[in-house]
Structure 1
């Protein structure tokens, strides 16, 4: 990540107008199965496949959030020929897996890019998609259960999976990724921090935005699933046996305050990402693990309203950190060489 602050656009933008549209894409679905209905709590719908509680909703508003996050990542890599991933899988991959596919937009885009590949998107809740490329398959499944896909993958992708697993489960996921990749295949993961930051002092110390990240991370820690994947995934991937571990760091601005056109566009979309996502990111955590005692739904609504009001202040130049990590499964000759070196060292 460039350590230089993002240059601020001196013009201020009102919270109504082209940078803050009233209607940021919406989609609905009505399917009768119990999996599609999910579990309703505090006005939000949660997955019902995994037999345990899950901190992020699986409803239309959250799918809208996933789509906005996807666009932020695309915009900030828009100068690349392939903004979807950085793993060098070549021009003819055969099998690609998207874990935690959400609405499936990444899997659909990659399937369009590689029409001869089979691209699978997997999540705990059926995405509201009415059409997809013939080579794209969106499946409802739990990645912690036994993987039954027959063909190994050229690439396994994950994005914004914080809070999905506890530490032992993360180790299990990385091992399964390793075991289900072809020799020389790639794993790639993108995560963003929940902590809101500011480089130029424009965000007052008393702002509620300053407390949001640390507080939600404390609640998640009490739940047993920390929100620190952005800082742990590189070491965890290396520990799982992957080599050629690469990292790319980003600043995701929140709002159209940057001067640079690309950052301004990303900030505009990320503003919508936060507006649609905040309630879902914190509702379950605060009503279950808030302190000094669990919050009520109404208290969460008031908290989120205060957050939204501050996010709409164009004088606050805020952003969040993000990181992309990609790494390769070693080939058999590399493993043999590594084993030989270990034997030599032991002598």
Structure 2
């Protein structure tokens, strides 16, 4: 598969990352620091425990079983909290209502509510895994954002000034419907912002060719998600989709993130160490259901593949990076 190019009107941050030619082959990458072992989900929440993983017990969503293929256990929650935690849209200071789709652990909602104490912030997710101690202006609801949203669309009381989502690629079947619902629930002048780290691996110096197994894994992962009906790797279509839904002033930004500590620049090297921990956890989270349930692999076959993929990603001579894509657009002020 050829490496994808960035649309000419997208803003690419970090044009080129220079490698550290003195990087040690044995330099350790960090782990998440989460103890190994089985983490059983509470039966109160009706989580389904995956029978395929006796070594690490993933819990899955009880609401609309099978609709979302990533787990929701404690270890996965820790992985989610490592993702990008910011917003890029030029928001006004006096926001009335904010909605976070697929909120996960709710960390983004809690932090945003703390920073905007007069704003009503709502986070929705398939699983009740959010923290119990929250600011007074922060609430959570169990909901599937792919269905019709249950929120009113009355002016003043039912519209949002900002709708935010991050890392929900692979859980969306109908993007036009998602964009249309977001547009309908935004107040005039409100913003929709989408963020995700793409599953593709890239390099600027041709060393991606060293990561043969990692590239093959990525291609199989995307194919499995396509068969499942919720395709990964579609972030490059967001901008056009939002424009077709009526959003104006749509902006797209692409950030390079090294997958290990291979960069020369100290800041990028540290970012690579941080990202390495996230990526190693992501391999298992993204692969398990798609490979075993969709592609028909055994757990042993998947473990062997992921071991090789991990070796590819830890290779300091493979100067791999991923791309974080951020797209935001605004509902017209006059609507």
Question: What's the TM-score once normalised by structure 2's chain length?
Answer: 0.86
Unmatched runs of 5 consecutive residues or more in structure 1 = 75-83, 336-347
Distance change (3 Å), C-alpha of 1:22 and 1:242: closer
TM-superposition CA deviations, 1:307-327 (whole Å, max 9, x none): 122222222211112210110
Separation of aligned partners in 2, 1:138 and 1:265? 34
Other-structure match for 2:114? 112
Q: Does 1:65 align with 2:72?
A: no
Residues 191 and 330, structure 2, Cα contact 8 Å, conserved in 1: yes
> Is 1:217 matched up with 2:231?
no
Number of aligned residue pairs: give it: 314
Secondary structure class of the residue paired with 1:244:
strand
Asked if residue 268 in structure 1 is aligned to residue 273 in structure 2, the reply is yes
**What's 1:9 paired with?**
20
Q: Given the superposition, is the C-alpha separation of residues 286 and 185 from structure 1 closer, same or farther in structure 2, using an over 3 Å criterion? A: same
Q: Indicate conservation of the 8 Å contact 1:38/1:45, yes or no.
A: yes
Q: How far apart are residue 153 of structure 1 and its match? A: 0.8
SS at 1:33's partner residue? helix
Deviations 1:170-189 (CA, angstroms, capped at 9, x unpaired): 22111111111111100000
Q: What CA distance in whole angstroms lies between the structure 2 residues aligned with 1:141 and 1:268?
A: 35
1:44-123 equivalent positions in 2, closer than 5 A? 44-69=58-83, 73-74=84-85, 84-123=86-125
Deviation string 1:3-61 (CA, Å, 9 cap, x unpaired) is: 732111233256665x52461599x78644244x2353422221120254422111122
* CA distance 1:271–1:156, change in 2 (3 Å): same
Comparing 151-160 with 56-65, which one deviates more in the overlay? Answer: 56-65
Structure 2 match to 1:33: 44
SS in 1 for 2:59: strand
In structure 1, the partner of 2:247 is 242
Structure with a larger share of its residues in helix: 1
Q: Who is 2:289 aligned against?
A: 284
- Partner Cα separation in structure 1 for residue 134 and residue 21 of structure 2: 42
Q: Secondary structure at the match of 2:207?
A: coil
Q: Is the 8 A contact 2:13 2:253 kept in 1?
A: no
Residues 136 and 284 of structure 1: CA distance in aligned 2, closer, same or farther (over 3 Å): same
**Secondary structure at 1:198 match in 2:** coil
CA distance, structure 1, for counterparts of residue 226 and residue 284 of structure 2 = 19
Structure 1 residues 116 and 231, CA, compared in 2 at 3 Å: closer, same or farther?
same
The alpha carbon displacement at 1:261 in A equals 3.1
Corresponding residue to 2:172 among 165, 189, 204: 165
Change (3 A) 1:263 1:160: same
Cα deviation for residue 249 of structure 1 reads 0.8
For residue 298 of structure 1, the aligned residue among 300, 304, 308 is 300
Shift of residue 133, structure 1, vs aligned partner: 2.1
Compared CA separation, residues 207 and 121, structure 1 to 2 (3 A): same
